[in-house]
Structure formats: structure tokens, C-alpha cells
Structure 1
Amino acid sequence: MNVFALDTRSAPAGAGHSCVRNRVQQASCQACVLACSVDAVTVSDGKVYFDTEACIGCGACQFACPTGAVDKLTLPRRHYRDGALVMPLSVAAPGVDELLMWHAEYQIRAVELHMALNPAWVMAIAALNLKLKQLRQPLWTILPPSVTAIDHARRHWLQINNDKDNTASVTPGRRVRRAHFSAVSEYQLALDQAACFLCGACARVCPEGAIQLAGESMTLNHSRCTGCGSCEDVCFPHAIKVIQSDECTLTTLAIREIPCSTCHRPFFAWTAQSQECPICQRHHYGMREA
């Protein structure tokens, strides 16, 4: 019986079980890799690896992840007051994905900064406002830093932060962001019906339930898609594609459940005239006949 653990070190930063690459062998998702500005995230042998020594703690990978799979990385904490992010600001400006969560979770609508001293933040707010226009949300403004009285009393010499300011982090991940901004899509599921076999693999692998086959319909809920690409990765006829789009629609396609004339198993088809399931169509000489 082990009384003491031999290794008390915490697990290293990495991609958890919900990572697309840990769930789908042929996954092609590169969201965290593309989001990292210092090349601290890499993919090797189909797995995601994090270099914590090179990481600058900007949190970009966590906000870009379509399934919220990045573990053991500390999110940046920021100062805010009266509906605005305030100084001190980080050297690396946050991305649009993080700022959208400040917009949704804390109703932040402004940033206090020196425009000449914080050009990266000015560019970040400009990019954010372009996105907010697409989402039909109120825009952010840039405010001059507030002037606070300096208390020269001896006991306050080492007090750096303003007691009236709050500090917090926001929830990362595309999944949470899509829940806050569900009225407008970020991605569109494009289906080629002529190539689709209605095997249901895309619906089973989708972690967001954006694709559903039930009853007499196939439903593509574009507003729930986070762009992980799992449906593309498992579709062997390459009938489905994930494309960037801001159109919020719900596509419902009529399907039929029909017994196969060869193997007698029920299968989904686009028309009632279909006789054989896709598997039997590709087998010859009655190999699947009962």
C-alpha cells in the first residue's frame, strides 16, 4: 500500500481529453498553434505540446481552442472599473476572442490607455469593433487614463494598485463565446448532398451537437459550430466542409429511413426511391445478403 506519492509534481500544461486531436486520429485542428505568437505550441505525431518556458501567458491559445481543451495554463488577469479596462495594461494586447468575453461577461465597453504608448491595444480595440459590428453589438471606446489622487502618507508608499479597481479573468474557449453570441454564426457547415452517404459519422463526432440526424431530417445548426473540423476529419467521402461565415441559419434537410433490400438493415437516404444501403451498394455478388 502506497502511503506517500512518489511524484507530487502537477501535470504539465497541455491539451486535455476534449482536444480534437485526442479524440479523432486524423484531426487537422491547428487553432492553438495558429493563435500562439511565440511558437510555444506545436504539434508532433498528431499530439499538441506546450513549451511553458517560451509561453508569455497571453492566453491566446485558450481563447482560440474550439473545445476548451487547454489545461494548466494561467489566464491573464486584468484590471477593470466602471465598465472599462484600466491601467496597468499588459504589454501584449489581448486578442479579439478574449475581448469579446470581457464584453459579454463583465459588460466592458471601454479601455483607459495612452494611445501613443499602447499602439498594440489601439489595434486590438479597432479589430474588436469590426467584430462587434458583425455581431450587432455596441462598440468600445478608448478613454484617457483617469487621474487619481496620490496619497503621500508613509503607509501608502508601497501601495501600487488602486483599491477601487477590480481584477479578474474571463472564461476562455470558442464554445463559451458561441453561447454568448449565438444570434450570429462564425462558421457555416457546407454539405454536398450528392457525395454524402448519411452514415452519421459527422453527427456522432461533433462535440457541440451542431449536426443531428433524427426522425426524417438532418439538421445543421451553424450557430453551435465552433470550427473544430471534426466532421471534416471523419467524413471519408469529404462531403462536409466548415467555412467561415457570419450568416446565422438553421439548415434542415429531409431524409428517409428505409430498409435495405439486400441486408434488410434500416439506413438513411435522401429519397424514398433508394433501395440499397451505401455498404451494400459497394459489395458485389450478394456478399451481405441475409
Structure 2
Amino acid sequence: MRARCARAKCRHNACDACVRACPTQAIRADSSGVSLNARDCIRCGNCLFVCPTDAIEGPAPLRHIVDGTIEAVDGPPPTAQELLLLHAAHRLRAVLGDAASPWRASVDAANKTLNALGRSPIDWKLPQTSAAPSPSRRAFLRRGSDRIAHIVAATSAEPASQALCSAFHDVSLRRIDLSLDACTLCGACTRICPHAALSIEALSFVTDHQRCTGCTLCRDSCLESAIDIVDVPCAAAPDIHPLSSGECPRCGRTFFNWQSRQTAPLCHICRKRSMLYGDMSAP
């Protein structure tokens, strides 16, 4: 858990998604990192779906879907992320439950994302209350002769955060905003990103929005504050920024420049030293 946790990778990162998702406060975060109290864990799986770096491992909860509908059973409600995965991968289209069910908030949050993506929402169905005989909730789940029923987990082979990104393959759930004016192409973001959403390939700087899981490690490690992660859906196509390369006349390192910007005379390390100690020109 600690090795892949965003807090362990960058001391400026303040991710607490698992803490907020845990219904029993079994997960805690402090200056030393994130810890799990196994005695308080009820195996609800909520932490699996909200962790952006897939630092938490475990089996996803099984959900019983009948004709695209799932019952809002007692116990901790699923996260919006799990409902989105069930919607995309297993055609979840409705939730059956009382109006006061704690599942309602998760469905509303999932529908906010689905509406932004232009997808059909998850409907909320109230139990039948008419005097006429009607199937009970238990019968609703058990009937199989005239319904399509299956038990599924939202994700199994693929980590939850990556599964959610690939589930909506034609759009991205968030956008990576990169300031070319501020970025010095030091490469810190490309090295720390756990999902290769930022990379330098064949003299191009690539921002692959569809791969971004929102961990903000790139933003938190950027000394120039050149990156921001915005939770707004956008096209899945990556942004490709052409680069040029050169050799620093001061230290001899090969470094990159934005092809669309004025060529920097020095590599980013020597430029930083020159700003601190004066003399921006090469020797």
C-alpha cells in the first residue's frame, strides 16, 4: 500500500481519497503516510475504486444485477466510481431503493459525471407500494427465468483507476492543463506519473488525458507550477507538443526545448543556477 501511495511518492501530495471513502475510518492519513487498521476494515471495497494510484489491493465486492438493475442493499453504499464502472462494463442502468437510501448520493455523483460525458444516467427506481401483489425485493433478485441476471465485480483483472479510464475509451474524465510558458521540460512529471499520462516520445511531449487518474503527482512535483489537473471531461485524443533537442554549452547535457517557443540557451538546471547566481549566458 505504502509503496504506490501518492503520499509516499511526493511529500507535497495530500491525497486522502481512501480516507474519505472508508465508512469505518479504518484508513488514516497523517504526516507519516497512510495506514490501514485491518480490524476495522469491513471489506466494502470502496477504497479500491477511489485510489488514483491503485495502491490498495483486494477483491472488488460482488454486485447482483438483474435486467440492468441493482438493489440498494443495506450496508455501506458503493462509490460513484464503482457505479460508473458497472454502468460502462456491465450495463447498469437503474438502482432499486428507497428515496432515503444512502446509495442515492453515490448515484447522483455518478450521474453528474455521466451527464457531463453525454451518457445515459442511472435511473432511481422506488419499490412498488401498490396494494396489488408484487414481487418482493428478495424475489426481484432471485427470479431468473424471465430476466437476465448476473453477479459481477466492477473490476477484477485491471486495477480500478485504470479500468475506469479505459471504460470510457472515447473521452477522458479529466483534463491535464500544461503551461508551455512555465514548463522548463525538466521531466519530473514524466518520471513520477504512475500511468504514463505525461511522456516524452520521439521529440514530442505527450499529455494523454485519457490515462490520467487524477492523482496530481505531476502537479505536486512541478517546481514551476506548470501543471494542473481539472475534473472536466475532454476528448480522449492526447495533446502532442513538438520538441527540439540540443546540447547545453555549460554542462554538456542533452536537453529539450519547445519547438514553438524561443530556444533556451541552457538546460533547465543551468538556467536555474544562472537565475540564482547571475549570468544567463553560456561560457
**Structure-2 residue corresponding to 1:132:** 114
- The answer as to whether partners of 1:32 and 1:64 remain within 8 angstroms in 2 is yes
The Cα shift of 1:119 comes to: 2.7
The Cα shift of 1:128 comes to: 2.6
Equivalent residue for 1:268, pick from 256, 259, 273: 256
Give the CA RMSD over aligned residues: 3.0
The Cα shift of 1:257 comes to: 0.5
Is residue 61 from structure 1 mapped to residue 52 from structure 2 by the alignment?
no
**Structure-2 residue corresponding to 1:104:** 88
Is residue 79 from structure 1 mapped to residue 64 from structure 2 by the alignment?
yes
**Structure-1 residue corresponding to 2:131:** none
- The answer as to whether partners of 2:2 and 2:33 remain within 8 angstroms in 1 is no
**Alpha-carbon distance in structure 2 between the residues aligned to 1:149 and 1:28:** 42
User: With structure 2 as the length reference, what TM-score do the two structures score?
Assistant: 0.79
**Alpha-carbon distance in structure 2 between the residues aligned to 1:200 and 1:149:** 55
**Alpha-carbon distance in structure 1 between the residues aligned to 2:138 and 2:203:** 70
- The answer as to whether partners of 1:211 and 1:220 remain within 8 angstroms in 2 is yes
**Alpha-carbon distance in structure 2 between the residues aligned to 1:34 and 1:204:** 28
Q: Rate the CA distance shift 1:278–1:16 in 2: closer, same or farther, 3 A.
A: closer
- The answer as to whether partners of 2:23 and 2:76 remain within 8 angstroms in 1 is no
**Structure-2 residue corresponding to 1:216:** 203
- Which is richer in helix? 2
The Cα shift of 1:285 comes to: 9.3
- 1:184-209 per-residue CA deviation (whole Å, 9 max, x = no partner) reads 32222222323321011111211111
Q: Rate the CA distance shift 1:194–1:124 in 2: closer, same or farther, 3 A.
A: closer
Q: Classify the secondary structure of the residue corresponding to 2:102.
A: helix
Amino acid at match of 2:135: V
**Alpha-carbon distance in structure 1 between the residues aligned to 2:169 and 2:255:** 33
The Cα shift of 1:26 comes to: 4.3
Is residue 255 from structure 1 mapped to residue 243 from structure 2 by the alignment?
yes
**Alpha-carbon distance in structure 1 between the residues aligned to 2:31 and 2:248:** 40
Is residue 182 from structure 1 mapped to residue 172 from structure 2 by the alignment?
no
**Structure-2 residue corresponding to 1:170:** 154
The Cα shift of 1:24 comes to: 3.6
- The answer as to whether partners of 1:257 and 1:266 remain within 8 angstroms in 2 is yes
Quote the sequence identity (%).
31
Unaligned runs of 5+ residues in structure 2 are: 129-133
**Alpha-carbon distance in structure 1 between the residues aligned to 2:174 and 2:136:** 45
Larger Rg: 1
The Cα shift of 1:268 comes to: 0.7
- The answer as to whether partners of 1:85 and 1:112 remain within 8 angstroms in 2 is yes
**Structure-2 residue corresponding to 1:93:** 77
User: With structure 1 as the length reference, what TM-score do the two structures score?
Assistant: 0.77
Q: Classify the secondary structure of the residue corresponding to 1:129.
A: helix
Count of matched residue positions in the alignment of Structure 1 and Structure 2: 261
The Cα shift of 1:51 comes to: 2.3
